[in-house]
Amino acid sequence: MEGTRLQIIGIVGNILMVLGYFPQIFKTIKTHEAEDISLISWLSYLLGDLCLLIYAILTNDGVFVSLFTLFTVGNFTIVALTIKYGKIRLGIPKSARTKIPPASASLSSKNALNKQS
């Protein structure tokens, strides 16, 4: 009976750990902003989970293989989104990238220029 309670606690803890990735992933996708996410931290988590995944595979621990596979996927997703939406994208600082203004903004600026003439 005691073993079953411990397994339930472990399963609930693992589910909560995996679900913890979703708010960050969804927020980053929704806002397209990742400037405040520490890429170094998430890369460390990713590398740590990869090592633990390899360990779990080599020791034939199916539960931990599943768990660290999910952790690795979650970490990889956050790292990829951080690179995509963060300050640095493929080595180009965000400040050096140009944004195309929406068509309505360019029309309103043209109208303002015409009024001044």
Domain residue limits, the chain: 2-93
Task: Please report the pLDDT score of residue 117 as a whole number.
Answer: 55
Mean pLDDT of 18-45: 90
pLDDT in tens, 2-29: 778 888 888 888 889 889 999 999 999 9
Contacts of 69 (CB under 8 A, 6+ apart): 53
pLDDT in tens, 78-96: 999 999 988 765 555 555 5
Query: Nearest-CA neighbor of 82 among 19, 21, 36, 17?
Result: 36
CATH T-level topology, domain 2-93: Monooxygenase (1.20.1280)
Calculate what percentage of the chain has a pLDDT beyond 70.
74
